């Protein structure tokens, strides 16, 4: 997707913004191509038909969610249609300022964890009636972890001798055995570094709701292992009042994602950063799980 094509789309469908400059967003994501439209707007274009399924959902639900949440989230201003050689629906949003979260940029890890927990608690409290159920539109977030069993098996087969497969399978089995109460709650679906924006080291906004929906919100707990510190993870869990079963499922979400990243990156020199991150996160998962088992004995 090129800026000139985006300019044509905007000019054809939203002439009021035709004179604004269009520039690619650095690290704009994989599921969507993103472009600055002037200094205050963002153009977001799904990169494949599967991702385009989220466009209607976002326009229907994000304004409703935004009114109930303690932090800014993207709110669509206009919905585009196919044109200028681009085949999918697309959106224009207001631009949200902030820098992507990572371990080094977070000023106070416990404060960050609590702010994130407050956001997720507010999200889960929104009425889930008629909300989007798990499906292709969000890659079955909010549904059973068993959907990802094949990914875990393939990752462990590719990582034979590189990780403690026995411990990984024990953690995975504990996640599969942990029952959900069946009460639908709203979830974001991809609470990750790139979707959490910081201002002066504090959580300032949450973006990219393409995988949001209603169902089991345990998928949003994976961040406890992928980004939070030990103290932050403890504060996060306490604020959300997460029971053992939900915590185990959240650990399972973190595990399958991390194993998948580990398996495709450990042999590719160009993925050294992803490999180092996956190795660190897997260590967090193993250490926390082992400590939790020891505490129960």
Question: What is the model's pLDDT at position 32?
Answer: 95
- pLDDT tens for 213-229 read 999 999 999 999 999 99
Domain ranges of the chain: 3-94, 99-296
Phi and psi angles of residue 34, each rounded to the nearest 5 degrees, phi first: -125, 140
- pLDDT tens for 95-153 read 999 999 999 999 999 999 999 999 999 999 999 999 999 999 999 999 999 999 999 99
Asked whether residue 245 carries a pLDDT value surpassing 80, the answer given is: yes
Higher pLDDT, 1 or 117: 117
- pLDDT tens for 10-25 read 999 999 999 999 999 9
Higher pLDDT, 1 or 177: 177
Q: Which stretches of 95-160 are assigned E, i.e. beta strand?
A: 99-100
Phi and psi angles of residue 74, each rounded to the nearest 5 degrees, phi first: -65, 135
| Structure-token match 């940029």, residue found | 105
pLDDT band at 269 (very low <50, low <70, confident <90, very high): confident
- Average pLDDT over all residues of the chain: 96
Residue 20 burial by CB count (10 A; 0-12/13-18/19+): exposed, middle or buried? Answer: middle
pLDDT band at 29 (very low <50, low <70, confident <90, very high): confident
CATH of domain 3-94: 3.30.200.20
Instruction: Quote the crossing angle between the two packed helices 165-177 and 149-158, to the nearest 10°.
Output: 170
Helix, strand, coil % in the chain, rounded to nearest 5: 50, 15, 35
Question: What is the model's pLDDT at position 54?
Answer: 96
Question: What is the model's pLDDT at position 5?
Answer: 97
Question: What is the model's pLDDT at position 266?
Answer: 86
H helix and E strand count, the chain: 9, 10
Start-end of H helices in 159-271? 165-177, 223-226, 230-240, 244-265
pLDDT band at 176 (very low <50, low <70, confident <90, very high): very high
Phi-psi sector, 98: left (phi>0), alpha (psi -120 to 50), beta: left
Q: In the chain, what is the greatest distance between 2 CA atoms, to the nearest angstrom? A: 66
Per-residue pLDDT averaged across 236-254, rounded?
98
C-alpha span between 52 and 54 (Å, rounded): 5
Contact 116, 223 (CB under 8 A): yes
C-alpha span between 150 and 29 (Å, rounded): 25
∠ CA(283), CA(217), CA(57), 5° rounding? Answer: 120
Question: What is the model's pLDDT at position 27?
Answer: 81
Question: What is the model's pLDDT at position 296?
Answer: 81
pLDDT band at 52 (very low <50, low <70, confident <90, very high): very high
Question: What is the model's pLDDT at position 268?
Answer: 83
Extract the tokens encoding 174. Answer: 């504990």
**One CATH from 3.90.1200.10, 3.60.15.10, 3.20.20.450, 1.10.1370.30 for 99-296:** 3.90.1200.10
């Amino acid at each position: 997707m090129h800026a000139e094509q985006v300019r044509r789309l905007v000019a054809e469908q939203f002439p009021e913004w035709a004179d604004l400059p269009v520039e690619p967003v650095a690290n704009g994501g994989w599921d969507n191509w993103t472009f600055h439209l002037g200094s205050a707007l963002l153009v977001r274009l799904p990169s494949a038909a599967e991702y385009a399924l989220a466009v209607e959902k976002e326009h229907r639900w994000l304004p409703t969610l935004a009114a109930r949440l303690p932090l800014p989230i993207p709110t669509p201003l206009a919905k585009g249609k196919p044109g200028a050689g681009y085949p999918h629906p697309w959106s224009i949003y207001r631009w949200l300022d902030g820098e992507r979260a990572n371990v080094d940029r977070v000023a106070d890890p416990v404060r960050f964890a609590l702010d994130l927990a407050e956001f997720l608690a507010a999200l889960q409290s929104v009425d889930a009636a008629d909300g989007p159920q798990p499906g292709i539109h969000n890659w079955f977030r909010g549904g059973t972890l068993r959907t990802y069993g094949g990914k875990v098996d393939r990752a462990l087969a590719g990582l034979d001798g590189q990780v403690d497969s026995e411990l990984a399978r024990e953690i995975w089995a504990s996640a599969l055995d942990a029952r959900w109460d069946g009460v639908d709650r709203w979830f974001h679906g991809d609470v990750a570094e790139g979707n959490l924006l910081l201002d002066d080291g504090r959580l300032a906004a949450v973006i990219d709701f393409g995988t949001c929906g209603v169902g089991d919100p345990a998928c949003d707990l994976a961040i406890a292992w992928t980004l939070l510190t030990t103290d932050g993870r403890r504060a996060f869990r306490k604020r959300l009042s997460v029971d053992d079963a939900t915590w185990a499922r959240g650990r399972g979400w973190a595990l399958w994602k991390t194993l998948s990243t580990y398996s495709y990156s450990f042999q590719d020199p160009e993925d050294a950063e992803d490999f180092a991150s996956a190795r660190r996160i897997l260590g967090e998962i193993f250490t926390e799980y082992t400590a939790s088992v020891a505490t129960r004995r």
